[in-house]
Chain A
Amino acid sequence: MRWKCLCVASLLAALLPAGMARAESPRQVLVLYENNRLLPANVEGDRGLNRVIAGFGSPVEVSAEFLDYPRFGGEDYVRTISTYLREKYHEHPPAVVVAGGNGALAFLLRNRQELFPGAPLVHMGVDKPFIDGLKLPGDAYGVPVRYDPAGTVAQALRWHPRATRLVVITGAAPPDRAWVPLLQQELEPFKGRVDGIDFWSGLTTHEVMERLAALGADTVIFTPGYFMDGAGKTFTPREAAALIAGAATAPVYGPYNTFIGTGVVGGRVPTFEAMGETAGRIVNHLLEGRAVATLGLPLAMPTTLSVDWRQIKRWGIKESDVPGDALVQFRSPGLWDQYRYQALSVLAVVMLQSMLVAILLIERRRRRMAELSVDKHRFELAHASRLAVAGELTASIAHEINQPLGAILSNVAAASLILESGAMQPEELRQILEDIRRDDVRASDVIRQLRKLFEKHEVERTAVDLNEAAVEMAIVLRAEAKRRRVELVVREASGDVGVIGDRIQIQQVLINLVLNAMDAVAEQREGQRIVTVAVTKADDTAAVEVSDTGHGIREEDRAKLFDSFFSTKAAGIGLGLSIVRTLVESHGGRVWAENRAGGGAVFRVELPAAQGIRRLEVA
């Protein structure tokens, strides 16, 4: 154990900086405050002082003592406290003593030589008028405080232009009473500005409260607070100011920055922290043994306009009337000030989202336009394909129309012959006319049927019966089948086979499939060329099968069968089946091809059955 301790100690000694190791005991600084420990002025001053001294190169111990004036006082008390200080600091005499406040300076001036001989004196928070009334020794340093009641009141009257009355509240303790002549002198210039200046000096707090309640809004109150009221009750000036500000119906101003936050509007004040810092710099200088004069200290602590933002708002003082160099405290930041980054983030997110939404909307619109365009192209293509079919059907169409036209011509000629012969055959002529009419109707039917199929039309969604579609397709292709000597068989399903779709496009699907099947059977012998169109219906699908007796589909062609520009025919451009698939898929259906067991191919189209419509019709 012993060895280990020795080791640690020597290690520490080796590690410690040489300077620290040499300074066997830290330098002592004693700060003696006039008032008690918790006085806000002392707390602030102490903070400034200690911060600066802590920056000193070597260790300094700062002790603080409090005279607790004015609660305690009297010759006995001074004697006792002197004895206490002498005994306490006998072993560790301070290198520098600091006096905080008028009373502390007075105490030290009187007792320093006895208590701390040789220690230079630094003062802080001491009033300039007080200093001016003293004869300071050469080793006493410090920047006195010059409170600025006149500047404060001038500022207050600028902010409250309608104020006609000035109330000054002071207390009953000696330092409180010391304010009265000072203030009387300082505020003298405002006698012309306001109707009257009332000094409420040494009143009981109770009375102060009552009087305050009776004050009008045309008043401005100035108070340095007080340590003791007329009833002998002790306060810190800050507490007194808080009481006054709380009860007042008029704005309250004060000379100390510690009043900010108690309900006082503010004032032109020196800050106690700055006082502490200045004293600290002097102490450091003295500890280093340098001349204080080199610090270039000001003659008095500067004052700044210090305000409580909440009070500025409360008394309706315009923000633009607050000077830019004013120290504003308790500025309740707006949502913007408080949550600037959050707000910016939220705003950015909202904007990003808005942009995203906008982009998505634009994209959606573009997609819809593109879809419309695709629809349009599909529509155009389907139409072009129908026209191509029309070209293919020219021969049979011509036949379909020429048959009735030829019959009409022959009938007319026959009728002429009858009339020329002079034979009276009215019955025969009537029959001829009837036949002519019928043939005319037949020719125009063919044309109407074809026009319906080949003209451009608006794509509709209506209930279409696949049976009907198959029959109509057969009417269109009847002549073509005949021309090609193909047997075209249509097998209807029993009952309606309703789908929702475009009648023309569904017919086109059937026509393309049947023409394809007719091509497939072309190489078969006559009598073996059979194309069967069968309509079937399951629960939720309606189907059409187009089967042929052709050569079937080669396995390698199956995958490409429905592709555009794929054709196994010499003259085909390969759009027929591609359009079939496009149209079927646009109807929510599917189409595929297989080889039949007995030879030939079968193309099957499945479309969603129009259940709802059917039910509606049934109901």
Chain B
Amino acid sequence: MITKPMVHVIDDDESLRTALLRLLNGSGFEATGYRSTGDFLLRHPPDRHGCVLLDIRMPGGPSGLELNAVLKEQGIHLPVVFMTGHADVASSVAAMKGGAVDYLEKPIAPQALLDAIGRALARDAAARGARQERAELKTAFASLSQRERQVFDLIVEGKLNKQIAAALGVAERTVKAQRASVLAKLGVSSVAELGRLAERLRSLGDGRQ
């Protein structure tokens, strides 16, 4: 069963919160409401695919912008869509700097809200995908032996089997076997793919440091 994306609605206005939850639940999300940012943090939201819909002005507890920082600290990666009763330049700039993916002015048209939620979820999905890939890549790379890593580096440098054998002081046949093992462990089928993988690893900051 595919779990629904989770939308966390934080607004102290119960009437609006209820209405938003109604709309989001009806639109295929699993929406949960919180009276304040403090309330939200205390409930320890799971790191699940979803997003946060937050009124930028909340009495009591951390403000919407502060919440963003706290969530990051806790390793919860959820994009935040801000809502505001009255958009002004100062608060919108601050919201965007704080990492808001979207900024909605009340009263929020339902379609605009759903679009914004959709964009936020897509972004979350992308981020989650990237994190997933990186984690898998790291795991695969970690499974390489010392010798296999040396072979991987030399392949990425573009050395031929004979050159690698000479550099490592082993037989060319041994290098061939190790090369096949590296490709298998990293789940690639060609040297070209391996090159791209190496690029990705470098951009993620490979685990060698």
B106 pairs with A417, CB closer than 8 A: no
B23 pairs with A403, CB closer than 8 A: no
A405 pairs with B107, CB closer than 8 A: yes
B129: Cβ under 8 A from any A Cβ: no
Which residues of B (161-189) have their CB < 8 Å from a CB of A? none
If A435-B18, A442-B15, A485-B59 touch, whether A414 touches B26 (CB-CB below 8 Å) is yes
B107 pairs with A414, CB closer than 8 A: no
Q: How many residues of B contact A (CB 8 A)?
A: 23
Chain B residues near A413 (CB-CB < 8 A) = 23, 26, 110-111
A398 pairs with B86, CB closer than 8 A: yes
Residues 408-422 of A, flagged 1 when their CB comes within 8 A of B and 0 if not, give 111111100110010
Of chain B, the residue at the smallest CB distance from A481 is B59
> A-B contact count, CB below 8 Å?
85
A409 pairs with B108, CB closer than 8 A: yes
A482: Cβ under 8 A from any B Cβ: yes
A406 pairs with B59, CB closer than 8 A: no
B85: Cβ under 8 A from any A Cβ: yes
Which residue of the partner chain, among B16, B57, B59, B88, contacts A410 with CB atoms under 8 Å? B16
Quote the shortest CB–CB distance from B118 to chain A (angstroms): 14
A403 pairs with B13, CB closer than 8 A: yes
B57 pairs with A407, CB closer than 8 A: no
A438: Cβ under 8 A from any B Cβ: yes
A314: Cβ under 8 A from any B Cβ: no
B85 pairs with A410, CB closer than 8 A: no
If A395-B85, A403-B15, A403-B16 touch, whether A414 touches B22 (CB-CB below 8 Å) is yes
Of chain B, the residue at the smallest CB distance from A432 is B22
B1: Cβ under 8 A from any A Cβ: no
B19: Cβ under 8 A from any A Cβ: yes
Q: How many residues of A contact B (CB 8 A)?
A: 29
Quote the shortest CB–CB distance from B58 to chain A (angstroms): 9
B19 pairs with A435, CB closer than 8 A: yes
Chain A residues near B113 (CB-CB < 8 A) = 410
A417 pairs with B23, CB closer than 8 A: yes
The winner among B23, B27, B113 for most chain A CB atoms within 10 A is: B23
Chain B residues near A407 (CB-CB < 8 A) = 13, 15-16, 18-20
Chain A residues near B86 (CB-CB < 8 A) = 394-396, 398-399, 402, 483
B108 pairs with A410, CB closer than 8 A: yes
B109: Cβ under 8 A from any A Cβ: yes
A438 pairs with B23, CB closer than 8 A: no
B20 pairs with A410, CB closer than 8 A: yes
A421 pairs with B26, CB closer than 8 A: yes
B85 pairs with A402, CB closer than 8 A: yes
The winner among A396, A405, A410 for most chain B CB atoms within 10 A is: A410
Which residues of A (420-465) have their CB < 8 Å from a CB of B? 421, 432, 435, 438-439, 442
Which residue of the partner chain, among A395, A404, A409, contacts B15 with CB atoms under 8 Å? A404
B19 pairs with A406, CB closer than 8 A: yes
Residues 81-116 of B, flagged 1 when their CB comes within 8 A of A and 0 if not, give 000011010000000000000000011111101000
Docked pose: A409 CA to B27 CA in angstroms: 14
Chain B residues near A442 (CB-CB < 8 A) = 15
Quote the shortest CB–CB distance from A378 to chain B (angstroms): 32
Which residue of the partner chain, among B18, B57, B109, contacts A409 with CB atoms under 8 Å? B109
B16 pairs with A406, CB closer than 8 A: yes
The winner among B22, B59, B113 for most chain A CB atoms within 10 A is: B22
Which residues of B (46-102) have their CB < 8 Å from a CB of A? 57, 59, 85-86, 88
Docked pose: A405 CA to B111 CA in angstroms: 15
B23 pairs with A414, CB closer than 8 A: yes
Which A residues are within 8 Å of any B CB, using their own CB? 394-396, 398-399, 402-414, 417-418, 421, 432, 435, 438-439, 442, 482-483, 485
- 4 tightest Cβ-Cβ pairs between the two chains A and B: A399-B85, A413-B110, A406-B107, A410-B19
Selected A-B contacts with CB under 8 Å, 27 pairs: A398-B86, A402-B86, A402-B106, A403-B13, A403-B15, A403-B16, A404-B15, A406-B106, A407-B13, A407-B15, A408-B19, A409-B107, A409-B108, A409-B109, A410-B16, A410-B22, A410-B23, A410-B113, A411-B19, A413-B26, A414-B22, A414-B23, A414-B25, A421-B26, A439-B19, A483-B57, A485-B59
